[in-house]
A = this chain, B = another copy of it.
Amino acid sequence: MRTAGLRTAEVIAVGSELLGSTRLDTNSLFLSERLAALGIELRIKSVVGDDRDDLASVFRQALSRADLVILTGGLGPTDDDLTREVVADVLGLPLDEDPSILDGIKRRFERRGLTMPPVNRRQAMVPRGATVLPNPNGTAPGLWLEHDGRVVVLLPGPPREMQPMVEALCAGPLRERAGEERLYRATLFVTARAESDVEQHVQPVYSRWRDAAPPIVTTILASPGQIELHLTTRDRDGAAAEGRLRDAVAQLTSILGEDVYSTDGRMLEEVLGDLLKARGLTIAAAESCTGGLFTSRLTDVPGSSAYVHSAVVAYDNAAKIALLDVPPASIDEHGAVSEPVALAMAEGIRARTGADVAVGITGIAGPGGGTPSKPVGTVVVAVIVPDRPAYVRTFQLLGGRAQVKWNAAQTALDRVRRLLDA
């Protein structure tokens, strides 16, 4: 038995359906984050179909490399569900039926007025010496095994079942077995800059932290409409780690200025919502190319009914005239995608709703509709906030239809944020 704490982990997701093209393995992402918080580094993830030999091979190899091996999925009652048997086989352990698990499964069925089908009996089989991990949301319990100083954990695949079980492990046995060092993280969300531009400005600063003792590791990730800076550091002393990250975040923020919209994990729509709430303002939008996405994102935030008044999606020129009082002459003269029309849309929605903040968005999402002077990706954003001149600007956004729509909404959310924050 090793005495040092668990430092490295591998995750094996079991299930042929996870290899198909329609499923993303969100369990591994969840696990990597929870393990990192305990200072346990996820080094390798594998996805294996429901094949006995493949699973045995991958499990055996993971066991040879990592302190902790977590297998998710394959604990169901059918012939396809091989995880229990393969793990017992590789570890050379017999499987015993656990009467209390069998009892629990039977009761679960009885509560719904059903008799347990005989196949479910398989779910009560336990490799000898394993600790049973209760599953409050399903029939398949988890299992915890120790083998030559390694820890092996079996968990059910459905996120609804697996996630609370991981939370319980991380609060209990995994925390006890982790090292004394923990991983600490900070994140900066940045808009309106290219990845290379962010990199060029911050690289000279963060590259020094990498070689410091203790180091801070910085990674830059481009995600739709924003750049994320992820900072991580390890320490036994939580206060020291947090102080170090706070200083680092402050340095990066002073370099990137108001392009940093969040250093506490809040998304752009939440940051904007909080600004509106703090100032007691309501908002209304007149959307064309975003087709309702701007307002849909605003209303993704719980409690947004306190400040979201309404929106008009005027996809059609007739709708811009009828629902937003955009002057037809303005559309004729400047085109529907133009600064005068975006402003008229914002003014129209404000006049009709009496909202404090009004937004107008018009543009060409593509793939059709572009012209040499207004190519696909041309988007105009107008914003009216109290006590300031109206704002309007034309942007050239990149990407296909979905990306232009998303970035147009992102740009509009960001512009309102900057005007309210100034």
Contacts and interface: CB of A to CB of B under 8 A. Distances in A.
A42 B44 CA distance: 18
A42 B54 CA distance: 12
Contacts of A109: none
Nearest to A30: B21
Interface in A244-280: none
Interface stretch (A82-90, A234-242, A300-308, A385-393): A300-308
A372 interface: no
Contacts of A322: 352-353
B303 A310 contact: no
Contact of A221 (B23, B295, B311, B314): B23
A44 B58 contact: yes
A358 interface: no
Nearest to A289: B299
A282 B49 CA distance: 46
A65 interface: yes
A291 B299 contact: yes
A318 B309 contact: yes
Given A20-B230, A47-B45, A291-B299, A313 B315 contact: no
Contacts of A44: 46-49, 54, 58
Contacts of A295: 291-292, 313, 315
A323 B43 CA distance: 55
Interface string A349-374: 00011000000000001111100000
A155 to B, nearest CB: 17
Given A43-B48, A54-B43, A228 B292 contact: no
A45, A51, A352 interface centre (most CB from chain B within 10 Å): A45
Contacts of A366: 302
Nearest to A295: B292
A421 interface: no
Number of copies: 2
Contact of A405 (B17, B58, B293, B300): B300
Contacts of A36: 21
A306 to B, nearest CB: 10
A292 B286 CA distance: 11
Nearest to A8: B54
B311 A316 contact: no
A342 to B, nearest CB: 16
A120 interface: no
A315 B32 CA distance: 38
A315 B323 contact: no
Interface string A25-51: 110111011001000001111111101
Interface in A222-236: 223, 228, 230
A61 interface: yes
Nearest to A300: B402
Interface of A: 16-17, 19-26, 28-30, 32-33, 36, 42-49, 51, 54, 57-58, 61, 65, 219, 221, 223, 228, 230, 282, 284-285, 287, 290-296, 298-300, 302-305, 308-316, 318-319, 322-323, 352-353, 365-369, 401-402, 405
